[in-house]
Amino acid sequence: MRFDLGIRLGRARELVRLFRVASYKFLSDPRVRTAFNWAKEPIFAVALVFTGTAAVAQPFYVPTGSMQPTIAIGDAVITTKFDYGYSQASVPFAAGPQSTARLGGAQPAVGDVVVFRKPTTPTLNLVKRVIGVPGDRIQMRDGRLWINGRELPLASDGSGKDEMSPGGSYSGAFFDVARYKETLPNGRQHPIYKWRWDGPLDNTQVFVVPPGHVFVMGDNRDDSSDSREPSSNGGFGFVPLGNIVGKARLVIGSVDYANANGIWEWPAEFRFSRVLKVVQ
């Protein structure tokens, strides 16, 4: 038995030696060295970009108007990933898990705008504002937002232009809508659009945010499918912390593609006024 084992170890060592010799000869070939020198910089650049998007920041394109007026249709938003730690959702092209676990980082704060994997469709990224964290009680009453039994202050802030999302009969059209400034319990303020006060999501049950989840809503309150709707009605309910990709930080570019007849018209529809606009 020991003799057989010795033979097998000897064969394994010989295979390792032959592999080293073959590898040395392969890498010593001038053609291989030339090809490697030509390819190493692009490979390094791709590896650097992938590492950066996986660990530091990643741009996301916003195709709908659910976060107007904070984020416009056609905005490209830089999302940082180190704020809340990391999960599988942080990795580009990886399906986000139905998990509450994250590696390091802090819990999102109420008022943060986050990009996350949709719980019912993990391959789809969405962007919304965090309205509730674990333990919070969220409810809509007559179109007003209540958190932990208190109605949030809502001040008139003039009016805005609400652009209709692509795909509908009014795609790209702008309509005047009332704009308000909402103050969250932690003092953070943000704008919202509000069309009416008796819509299907203007009166809801009390949602108690479970551990390991957040409750999110769109700033365009009457044109947002969010945590107010369960998956049975087309929404997605609470968002697991493990599904969060990162925090939306900055608009790096914006094209009103809904009003362009083709990609050749995109330069004419570029919104220079939105470049480097901070997401708050």
Q: Are 79 and 245 in contact (CB under 8 A)?
A: yes
Distance, CA of 216 to CA of 60 (rounded, Å): 18
Catalytic positions, written as ranges: 66, 128
Structure tokens at 249: 């930080």
Q: What 8-state DSSP symbol labels residue 100?
A: -
182 Cβ neighbours under 8 A, 6+ residues apart:
145, 152, 153, 154, 189, 190, 191, 192
Identify which of 123, 51, 120 has the alpha carbon closest to the alpha carbon of residue 82. Answer: 51
Which candidate, 62, 114, 63, places its Cα nearest to that of 89?
Answer: 114
Cβ burial 156-177 (10 Å sphere, 16+ → b, else e): eeeebebbbbeeeeeebeeeeb
